[in-house]
């Protein structure tokens, strides 16, 4: 009974603190860690004792890590590597290498850490939080934006590197020389992962297809598989964390990976609460002054130096100022992976618990501040855009040669269909997009195009907006479309303006600002189906014609490089 009471009290405290955090628009994870800190203070004061449930709590925290890594693995399908663009790959790897070096040098020379500890700190700083970034980008409807897609690509690269890092660290246990270490990590670990992936391709699918006929059996098998592979890795001398992650990667090949992930997520969320509470328990407020300076220095690397590195790499690839800035601020925090890696380091005796406390405090600082940086990124950009740089040749290449009847802002999946219509009505048109790869592709097909960001006032001043009869924006960002309407209505009140919105409230605001039509993709699909049913009724011939027409369009889009039919990559 004591265990239930103690757990109930801890979870009540976690709920109360997390509720307060949500009022300040902070990630709930911060609330869990702070709840752990408060719990530690209460225990130290003698008002609360968790000795009866301490072992259970630590086991629960291990479950939380295992389920977190299992779900991460479920989204690391080996095929996804082919879909990561060269820019995301190089930006991700470059940022990790440079951030690691910066973290190591600062930790070793300034903070006085040893080489091993400095290496752990460098590793912790080079990762960004997948949970935080995905949640905030989803809330802002920016998963489908250019910088959002690059951020997701970078996070995938980081997750893949994290697998290697966990393998490397767990393989160091009890190894006395380099040869035995290499034999265990490269041959042993790599060979085991290779065998499991082969099993995932050729042996597991048939069995999973049978199991998937029952939702309960699929859920039970998923948990069993996670624990089995984790236990196997633990038995062979690796960490169970690596085993759980590999178990997820193997199952990611299955067509049911998304369904499995959704079923496991509630378990992950519960047990992960305990993990973050324990991290907070390890931070003692009475001794926080001992780690605060170090945590502050490390936070500056994550909040300032890491974004500068990302912006520099983005500029090198030729992206615009705004995309460079938004990507940098989006990834300006440390990751839950960072805390897991350091927790493993403490368990193996590589680093002290004080270092873990330092990095945990760094996590609290960076996640808290970066959350506001992401939420108010456009406002920060307006004030700091003069300090962000882009390739000088971008502006030199921006030459407006003629007047246009129509301008299409944003060549994405929606823009593809709109461009076909502009061709049919035989109007002079221009495509404006802020993705240099898109502009290169359009140039190959001899489509009039211009590289630029609509959010840039300088670009809007250069465009012949006073002569345009039709302006269409497929860009999902509300502020960008608001600015476009505002700028156009001042100099061209008679132009037809079509923009895009996801929220009903945003659509109404854009209408009131002067839009002639607001495209709402989520509702438009339903309207089209409704009209098709109303017109075609239940005539099989008509539906066959619609099918052939749609297949032709999809085939054409696939040839152009599009792989998704959805509006957003959720």
- For the chain, how long is the longest CA-to-CA vector? 80
pLDDT computed for residue 327 by the predictor: 92
pLDDT computed for residue 233 by the predictor: 83
Judged against a pLDDT cut of 50, whether residue 473 lies above it is answered with yes
**CATH 1.20.1530.20 region(s) of the chain?**
2-387
CA angle 345, 348, 349 (to 5 degrees): 85
Judged against a pLDDT cut of 50, whether residue 566 lies above it is answered with no
Judged against a pLDDT cut of 60, whether residue 301 lies above it is answered with yes
Which token pair is 228?
């089995």
187-225 pLDDT, tens digit per residue, is 566 677 778 878 887 778 788 888 888 888 989 999 999
Spatial contact of 42 and 9, defined as CB atoms under 8 Å apart? no
Instruction: For residue 567, name the pLDDT band (cuts at 50, 70, 90).
Output: very low
CA 141, chain centre distance (Å):
12
Spatial contact of 56 and 35, defined as CB atoms under 8 Å apart? no
Q: Which residue has the higher pLDDT, 545 or 174?
A: 545
242-299 pLDDT, tens digit per residue, is 788 888 888 888 888 878 888 888 888 888 788 788 777 767 666 677 788 999 999 9
**Mean pLDDT, range 43-64, rounded to an integer:** 72
Winning range, highest mean pLDDT, from 6-20, 157-171, 525-539: 6-20
Rounded to the nearest integer, the mean pLDDT of the chain is: 81
pLDDT computed for residue 115 by the predictor: 93
pLDDT computed for residue 93 by the predictor: 93
C-alpha 158/C-alpha 515 separation (Å) is 41
Q: Tell me which residue has tokens 């854009």.
A: 510
Q: Which residue has the higher pLDDT, 494 or 78?
A: 494
Q: Which residues contact 455 (CB under 8 A, 6 or more apart)?
A: 322, 378, 381, 477, 479, 480, 483
Judged against a pLDDT cut of 80, whether residue 176 lies above it is answered with no
pLDDT computed for residue 126 by the predictor: 95
C-alpha 351/C-alpha 149 separation (Å) is 35
**Mean pLDDT, range 350-362, rounded to an integer:** 90
pLDDT computed for residue 569 by the predictor: 36
Q: Tell me which residue has tokens 């990590």.
A: 185
Instruction: For residue 128, name the pLDDT band (cuts at 50, 70, 90).
Output: very high
pLDDT computed for residue 149 by the predictor: 81
Lowest mean pLDDT among 427-431, 467-471, 514-518: 427-431
**CATH 3.40.50.720 region(s) of the chain?**
397-519
Winning range, highest mean pLDDT, from 214-223, 536-545, 560-569: 214-223
**Mean pLDDT, range 469-496, rounded to an integer:** 88
Instruction: For residue 334, name the pLDDT band (cuts at 50, 70, 90).
Output: very high
pLDDT computed for residue 60 by the predictor: 81
Judged against a pLDDT cut of 80, whether residue 403 lies above it is answered with no
- Best CATH choice for the domain 2-387 from the list 3.40.50.2000, 1.10.3720.10, 1.10.1060.10, 1.20.1530.20: 1.20.1530.20
pLDDT computed for residue 562 by the predictor: 54
Judged against a pLDDT cut of 50, whether residue 570 lies above it is answered with no
Q: Which residue has the higher pLDDT, 140 or 229?
A: 229
pLDDT computed for residue 568 by the predictor: 38
Coil, strand, or helix at residue 449? Answer: strand
Judged against a pLDDT cut of 90, whether residue 117 lies above it is answered with yes
pLDDT computed for residue 122 by the predictor: 95
Model's pTM, two decimal places? 0.72
**Mean pLDDT, range 552-560, rounded to an integer:** 70
pLDDT computed for residue 277 by the predictor: 82
Q: Tell me which residue has tokens 């925290």.
A: 61
Beta bridge pairs of residue 519 = 500
Taking phi over 0 as left and psi of -120 to 50 as alpha, with beta for the rest, 447 belongs to beta
Cβ–Cβ contacts within 10 Å for residue 309, how many?
22
Reference 102, options 304, 296, 293, 292; nearest CA is 304
C-alpha 322/C-alpha 22 separation (Å) is 28
pLDDT computed for residue 285 by the predictor: 66
**Mean pLDDT, range 166-173, rounded to an integer:** 73
pLDDT computed for residue 525 by the predictor: 65
pLDDT computed for residue 400 by the predictor: 59
DSSP letter (8 states) at residue 432? E
Class of the CATH-defined domain 397-519 = alpha beta
pLDDT computed for residue 80 by the predictor: 61
Compute the CA torsion angle 46, 11, 352, 367 (nearest 10 deg).
-130
Spatial contact of 334 and 121, defined as CB atoms under 8 Å apart? no
Judged against a pLDDT cut of 70, whether residue 46 lies above it is answered with no
Spatial contact of 482 and 509, defined as CB atoms under 8 Å apart? yes
pLDDT computed for residue 180 by the predictor: 53
Q: How many residues does the chain have?
A: 570
Lowest mean pLDDT among 140-144, 490-494, 538-542: 140-144
C-alpha 292/C-alpha 277 separation (Å) is 19
pLDDT computed for residue 325 by the predictor: 92
Coil, strand, or helix at residue 298? Answer: helix
């Amino acid at each position: 009974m004591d265990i239930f009471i103690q757990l109930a009290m801890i979870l009540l405290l976690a709920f109360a603190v997390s509720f307060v955090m949500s009022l300040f628009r902070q990630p709930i994870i911060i609330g869990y860690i702070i709840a752990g800190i408060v719990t530690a203070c209460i225990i130290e004061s003698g008002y609360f004792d968790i000795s009866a449930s301490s072992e259970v709590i630590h086991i629960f925290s291990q479950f939380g890590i295992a389920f977190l890594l299992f779900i991460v693995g479920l989204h690391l399908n080996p095929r996804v590597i082919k879909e990561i663009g060269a820019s995301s790959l190089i930006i991700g790897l470059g940022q990790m290498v440079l951030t690691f070096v910066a973290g190591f040098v600062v930790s070793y020379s300034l903070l006085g850490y040893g080489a091993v500890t400095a290496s752990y700190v460098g590793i912790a700083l080079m990762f960004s939080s997948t949970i935080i970034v995905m949640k905030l980008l989803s809330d802002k409807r920016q998963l489908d934006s250019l910088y959002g897609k690059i951020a997701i690509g970078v996070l995938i690269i980081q997750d893949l590197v994290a697998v290697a890092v966990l393998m490397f660290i767990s393989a160091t246990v009890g190894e006395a020389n380099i040869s035995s270490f290499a034999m265990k990590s490269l041959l042993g670990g790599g060979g085991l992962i290779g065998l499991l992936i082969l099993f995932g391709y050729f042996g597991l699918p048939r069995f999973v297809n049978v199991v998937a006929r029952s939702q309960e059996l699929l859920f039970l098998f998923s948990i069993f598989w996670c624990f089995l592979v984790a236990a196997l890795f633990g038995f062979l001398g690796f960490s169970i964390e690596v085993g759980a992650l590999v178990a997820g990667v193997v199952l990611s090949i299955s067509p049911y990976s998304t369904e499995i992930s959704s079923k496991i997520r509630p378990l992950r969320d519960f047990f992960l609460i305990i993990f973050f509470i324990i991290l907070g328990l390890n931070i003692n407020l009475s001794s926080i002054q001992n780690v605060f300076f170090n945590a502050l220095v490390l936070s500056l690397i994550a909040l300032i130096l890491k974004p500068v590195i990302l912006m520099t790499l983005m500029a090198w690839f030729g992206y615009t100022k705004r995309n460079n800035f938004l990507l940098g601020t989006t990834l300006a925090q440390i990751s839950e992976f960072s805390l897991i890696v350091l927790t493993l380091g403490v368990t193996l005796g590589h680093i002290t618990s004080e270092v873990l406390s330092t990095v945990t405090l760094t996590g609290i600082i960076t996640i808290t501040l970066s959350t506001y940086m992401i939420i108010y990124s456009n406002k920060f950009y307006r004030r700091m855009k003069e300090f962000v740089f882009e390739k000088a040749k971008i502006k030199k290449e921006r030459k407006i040669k003629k007047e246009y009847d129509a301008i299409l802002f944003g060549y994405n999946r929606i823009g593809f269909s709109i461009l076909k219509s502009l061709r049919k009505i035989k109007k002079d048109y221009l495509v404006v997009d802020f993705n240099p790869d898109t502009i290169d592709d359009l140039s190959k097909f001899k489509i009039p195009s211009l590289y630029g960001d609509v959010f840039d006032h300088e670009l809007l001043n250069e465009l012949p907006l006073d002569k345009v009869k039709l302006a269409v924006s497929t860009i999902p960002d509300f502020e960008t479309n608001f600015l476009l309407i505002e700028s156009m209505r001042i100099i061209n009140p008679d132009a037809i303006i079509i923009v895009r919105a996801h929220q009903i409230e945003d659509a109404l605001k854009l209408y009131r600002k002067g839009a002639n039509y607001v495209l709402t993709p989520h509702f438009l699909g339903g309207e089209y189906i409704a009209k098709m049913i109303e017109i075609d009724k239940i005539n099989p011939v008509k539906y066959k014609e619609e099918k052939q027409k749609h297949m032709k369009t999809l085939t054409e889009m696939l040839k152009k490089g599009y792989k998704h039919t959805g509006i957003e990559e959720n």
